[in-house]
Structure 1
Amino acid sequence: MAGGIIMREAHFPGRAPIDAYGNGGFRFAEMSHRGSILCVPSGIHGWEPADAAALAEADFARVIEEAAGIEILLVGTGRELKPLPNAVREAVRAAGVATEPMSTGAAVRTYNVLLAEDRAVAAALVAVS
Structure 2
Amino acid sequence: MDITPLIPTGRQIVKGYGDGGFTIAGLRWEGSVLVLPERTQPWSPRDLAQVTEDSLAPLLTLEEKPRLLLLGCGQRMAPVPSALRAALRAAGITLELMDTGGACRTFNVLVSEDRSVAAALIAV
| Shared fold, TM over 0.5 | yes
Select the residue among 96, 99, 106 that pairs with 1:100.
Answer: 96
Matched, 1:79 2:75: yes
Aligned to 1:48: 44
Q: What is the identity, as a one-letter code, of the residue corresponding to 2:22?
A: F
Q: Output one character per residue of 1:44-99: Cα deviation in whole Å (capped at 9) or x when no partner.
A: 11000001123211011011112634110000000000112222111111100000
Q: What is the identity, as a one-letter code, of the residue corresponding to 1:64?
A: L
| Cα distance in 1 between the residues matched to 2:91 and 2:45 | 21
| Cα distance in 2 between the residues matched to 1:58 and 1:77 | 17
Q: TM-score normalised to the size of structure 2?
A: 0.87
Q: Where does the alignment leave 5 or more consecutive residues of structure 2 unmatched?
A: 1-9
Offset at residue 41 of structure 1 (A): 5.3
| Cα distance in 2 between the residues matched to 1:42 and 1:94 | 24
Aligned to 2:109: 113
Which stretches of structure 1, 4 residues or more, deviate above 4 A after TM superposition?
Answer: none
RMSD between superposed Cα atoms in Å: 1.4
SS in 2 for 1:68: coil
Q: 1:1-129, aligned counterparts within 5 Å? A: 15-40=11-36, 43-66=39-62, 68-128=64-124
Matched residue count: 115
Q: TM-score normalised to the size of structure 1?
A: 0.83
